[in-house]
Structure 1
Amino acid sequence: MTEVDEMAGDIERIHQLNSLLRPFIKRPSSGDAVTFEQYRILHELIREKTSTSELSRRLHVGQSMISIQISRLLKGGYIRDETLPTDRRYHVFQITPRGEAVHEHVSLVLTHELPQLMAKLATYVKV
């Protein structure tokens, strides 16, 4: 098999994985329309309140993506913004009771569905 053929096979597997993951990641988690990316932020905030830059570092995504998701979570009432009294420019975010309820719901769904998803994914991954 040539390198080009191998790369084409890898690209096809990536496409298949993306098709399999897209409905799981993009679907609303409950009656509240929270994306998987937003769930990841809620999951970090359940542990402790933190800043945009720290969330970006922990989740390995750009600060602009985090800022967009933070804005949506704030608008939905899932998190709240807190400025430090010593430095009004520094913001940390904290999960709200509504955010905690959504986090709990999504965690239950993941606990139930993730093993099935992983089994499907294993059929696409080269060993």
Structure 2
Amino acid sequence: MMEAKKLAVDVERIHQLNSLLRPFIKRPSVGDTITFEQYRILHELVAEKISTSELSRRLNVGQSMVSIQISRLLNGGFIKDETLPTDRRYHVFQITTQGRRVEEHVNGALEVELPELMKQVNTILK
């Protein structure tokens, strides 16, 4: 009986966390320019050129999701595609100046918003 009550409390906490985090994660950043998922890709590309499979591994999401977001970022001019001269089948992506500006803007917004979000998460978890 005690296990069922604990499970019910845990399920309620998960529901509360989901309700709190969903709008934050799904909210487009910088107007309607990019989504949070696209920001995560830009953030990874700031330091180095990366392939779709490596992005998928780092972000812990499927390659199809990464491919869709990559296409949107390419079309928006936020990243560019580069093929290796030694193997034209292998593509790596790098952030553009426009993409870097957007990534920096979102970083600034996250620095402001994340501390309050984390306070709310901690309240739910207590």
Matched, 1:65 2:65: yes
Mapped to 2, the partners of 1:76 and 1:10 lie a distance apart of 41
- Residues 28-73 of structure 1 show CA distances to partners (whole Å, capped at 9, x for unaligned) of 2113421111111100000101101111111111111111111111
1:55 is matched with 55
User: Where do residues 22-101 of structure 1 align in structure 2 (5 Å cutoff)?
Assistant: 22-101=22-101
Q: Secondary structure, in 3 states, of the residue corresponding to 1:31?
A: coil
Contact 1:79–1:95, Cα closer than 8 Å, also in 2: yes
Unpaired runs of 5+ in structure 1?
none
Mapped to 2, the partners of 1:66 and 1:51 lie a distance apart of 10
Unpaired runs of 5+ in structure 2?
none
Identity of aligned residues (%): 72
Normalised to the residue count of structure 2, the TM-score between the two structures is 0.93
Aligned residues: 126
Output the aligned Cα RMSD.
1.2
Mapped to 2, the partners of 1:4 and 1:81 lie a distance apart of 52
2:15 is matched with 15
Deviation at 1:5, TM superposition (A): 2.2
1:118 is matched with 118
Q: Secondary structure, in 3 states, of the residue corresponding to 2:92?
A: strand
Structure 1 runs of 4+ aligned residues shifted over 4 Å read: none
Is the deviation greater in 21-30 or in 96-105?
21-30
Normalised to the residue count of structure 1, the TM-score between the two structures is 0.93
AA aligned to 1:117 is L
Mapped to 2, the partners of 1:116 and 1:40 lie a distance apart of 20
